Amino acid sequence: MAGSKYAYVRNFELPDPLLPGTFLVCRLDGHSFHRFSDEHGFSKPNDERALRVMDAAAQSVMEEYKDILLSFGESDEFSFLLRKSTQLYNRRHAKILTTLTSYFTSCYVFHWPKHFPDTPLRYPPSFDGRIVQYPSAREVRDYFAWRQVDTHINNLYNTTFWALVQQGGQSTTQAHATLKGTFSKQKHEILFSRFGINYNALPEQFKKGSVLVREIVQGKRDKKDSSRDTMAISLVHCDIIGDAFWDARPHLLVE
Ligand SMILES: Nc1nc2c(ncn2[C@@H]2O[C@H](COP(=O)(O)OP(=O)(O)OP(=O)(O)O)[C@@H](O)[C@H]2O)c(=O)[nH]1
Ligand SMILES: [Mg+2]
């Protein structure tokens, strides 16, 4: 079939394949959530309702995209690990990134009312996204360890910061100055001696983020493909994503 004289413009649409045989990590991050959290009255430093909306949206994404084996979330971000051999959308970069970002965003809006029954959305939230390609399991392990360490560092800072402001009566400028150059031990000490807060006793989700992992259901075969095990998504808050985590779940890092 001959194209119209206009059809040549199609040639300007270039292919954008992701490298074959690489692990894909897609990280989404709330756009201007500093403002979004203020406008929707999130509690500081952590709002459990807000974290539950993020977890619910990520779970929906994993239910829709079976090649996502693991996801990790904290604050306004979520990272998704796709299996190395995924053929999702023929590994087209923009197609994967835009559909995951838009599906996550609409799931966030979809799940919002359940967790914020008394707070209607004041405006539509949005998320940005990127895909990083990692050649080996080592980088994937280190990637998730990096995000989880970041959660801990940020949470310790934010918890101490807001204790100084909310309970200690400091201005935000003063609180920043108090914390400047402090090591983590000193922040623990400020929390405990001044405010009676034992950091280690805070909810695991605040300190370690949310891990959603596709686990093998022992002894059960997939209904559609009997050569495969049945997988179920489980939400873990207390796991360290360290060597013991990965070693117990070798299926996450196979081809
Ligand atoms: N109060 C409160 N704020 C939160 C919570 N989770 C995320 N936020 C806000 O979301 C921000 C997330 O950090 P960033 O992603 O660096 O900042 P951002 O405003 O989203 O900016 P961009 O991502 O660059 O668009 C935090 O700085 C907080 O202001 C929460 O549980 N409670
Ligand atoms: Mg953000």
Distance between CA atoms of residues 252 and 68, nearest Å: 9
Look at ligand 1, atom 3, and give the residue with the nearest C-alpha.
Answer: 37
Cβ-based neighbours of 150, under 8 Å, separated by 6 or more: 74
Distance 36 CA to ligand 2 centre (A): 9
Domain count, the chain: 1
State the burial class of residue 19 (Cβ atoms within 10 Å of its Cβ: 0-12, 13-18, 19+).
exposed
How many residues are there in the chain? 255
- 30 CA: nearest ligand 1 atom: 20
Q: What is the pLDDT of residues 1-26, one digit of tens each?
A: 568 999 999 999 999 999 999 999 99
Complex ipTM value: 0.99
Q: What is the pLDDT of residue 53?
A: 98
Which numbered ligand comes closest to the C-alpha of 35? 1
Look at ligand 1, atom 4, and give the residue with the nearest C-alpha.
Answer: 37
Q: What is the pLDDT of residue 237?
A: 76
List the domain range (segments joined by +) for residue 225: 14-151+203-253
Look at ligand 1, atom 30, and give the residue with the nearest C-alpha.
Answer: 46
Q: What is the pLDDT of residue 227?
A: 77
Q: What is the pLDDT of residue 223?
A: 80
Q: Which residues line ligand 1 (CB under 6 A)?
A: 29-34, 37, 42, 44-47, 50, 75-76
Distance 33 CA to ligand 1 centre (A): 4
The candidate with the shortest Cα–Cα distance to 140, out of 151, 128, 132, 152, is 132
Q: Which residues have a beta carbon within 5 Å of ligand 2, which is an ion?
A: 29-30, 33, 76
Is the residue at 163 inside a domain? Answer: no
Which residues of the chain have a pLDDT value below 70?
1-2
CB 241 within 8 A of CB 85: no
Distance 209 CA to ligand 1 centre (A): 14
Is the residue at 116 inside a domain? Answer: yes
* CATH number of the domain that residue 79 is part of: 3.30.70.3000
